[in-house]
Amino acid sequence: MADKSQDSLRKANQTEEGYLGPLREILRQLDDGELTLKQLQLMTEHLNPFDPVLLGEQAAAWVKSNVQLDSNFFRVDSFYWPTVTGKDGTVYKVNPKKDIREIVSLPVNRMRQLGHGEIPTPDQVNSFCGIQLFTRDAILRETRKANKHLPSVIEWKKVLSDHFSRKLRIPRSVMKRLVLNSAEYYWELFDGLNPNDYKALLEKLNIKLVNYYYEPIGSMTVGVWGNYHCQNGVSISFDYYGGRCCISVDPVDRMKAARCLKS
């Protein structure tokens, strides 16, 4: 978040002469919660407002939130569902309403991206089997029935902040657009994470990169990026190659996996 604030201030300096551009950007960041009053005080003292030592971030121990994800993916009983083969060769179970799909098997010869450019191992392939993907209506219906809590983007942010032991911020203007805007929109919660750290994140939180484009597209991506349902029709996505995580409003009804919160 500090990097984004610095970049925004740098661009404001470049696009508008004098002090007006940076001042407008500082006021915008304060209003959005991207800058704190402590950082503003450091600016007035001509000190670096992004220095973690001056901010006291190194001395303070991170206090974890009590928000935790269920260790397993959200699932419903699929014992009597019929099995179908998708256009891409993936075998699924499909519920009677045809708005939930459960992965039964993957076509290994078409899933080289599972290993991020390498031929996937049987364990990598099998780790996706049994994951269920839901439309928006289906996940709301089934979590209500099961009395399970689908996390909001704020709760996902807390889970990720706990993983990194630092506070991730979502500006108020972004939250407003996520809630009120029905058009396509996304915002990066973080990006540029190196592959080893990103892999550690995925393994620690048991995040699988899987996403299904609902009909008429009818195809799935596995191993590169994935979407998860959040509350209020918002999604959170993970992109391995970009080392990033985004929150978004997506008008296309992609079928997504879901992780609920621990009770």
Residue 114: the pLDDT is 46
Last residue of a domain, one of 16, 31, 55: 55
Looking at the structure, tell me whether residues 141 and 244 fall in a common domain: yes
Q: Which residue has the tokens 């661009």?
A: 11
| β-bridge mates for residue 188, sequence order | 246
pLDDT, tens only, 155-173: 999 999 999 888 888 888 8
The answer as to whether 86 is a domain residue is no
Looking at the structure, tell me whether residues 140 and 242 fall in a common domain: yes
Q: Residue 211: which of 200, 203, 220, 202 has the closest Cα?
A: 220
Looking at the structure, tell me whether residues 51 and 138 fall in a common domain: no
Where residue 116 falls (left for φ over 0; alpha for ψ -120 to 50; beta otherwise) is: left
The answer as to whether 263 is a domain residue is no
| Residue 222 vs residues 59, 76, 128, 227, 248: alpha-carbon distances, Å | 41, 21, 9, 11, 19
Percent of the chain at pLDDT > 90 equals: 33
pLDDT, tens only, 185-221: 888 898 888 888 998 999 999 998 886 655 444 566 6
The answer as to whether 41 is a domain residue is yes
- How many CB atoms neighbour CB 101 within 10 A? 25
What is the number of structural domains in the chain? Answer: 2
**Cβ contacts of 65 within 8 Å, gap of 6 or more:** 158, 159, 161, 162
pLDDT, tens only, 233-261: 889 999 887 889 999 887 667 789 999 99
Looking at the structure, tell me whether residues 142 and 45 fall in a common domain: no
The answer as to whether 211 is a domain residue is yes
Looking at the structure, tell me whether residues 144 and 245 fall in a common domain: yes
pLDDT, tens only, 44-72: 776 666 666 656 654 456 788 889 999 99
According to DSSP, residue 47 is labeled -
- Confidence class for position 122, pLDDT limits 50, 70, 90: confident
Span 141-150, average pLDDT? 96
The answer as to whether 39 is a domain residue is yes
Alpha helices in the chain (DSSP H): 2-15, 20-32, 37-44, 52-55, 122-126, 136-146, 153-164, 172-180, 195-204
Q: Containing domain of residue 34, as a range?
A: 2-55
Looking at the structure, tell me whether residues 146 and 234 fall in a common domain: yes
The answer as to whether 11 is a domain residue is yes
The answer as to whether 40 is a domain residue is yes
Looking at the structure, tell me whether residues 138 and 227 fall in a common domain: yes
Looking at the structure, tell me whether residues 139 and 233 fall in a common domain: yes
Last residue of a domain, one of 28, 55, 82: 55
Last residue of a domain, one of 18, 34, 55: 55
The answer as to whether 113 is a domain residue is no
Looking at the structure, tell me whether residues 155 and 243 fall in a common domain: yes
Q: Which residue has the tokens 């911020």?
A: 169
- Mean pLDDT in the chain? 79
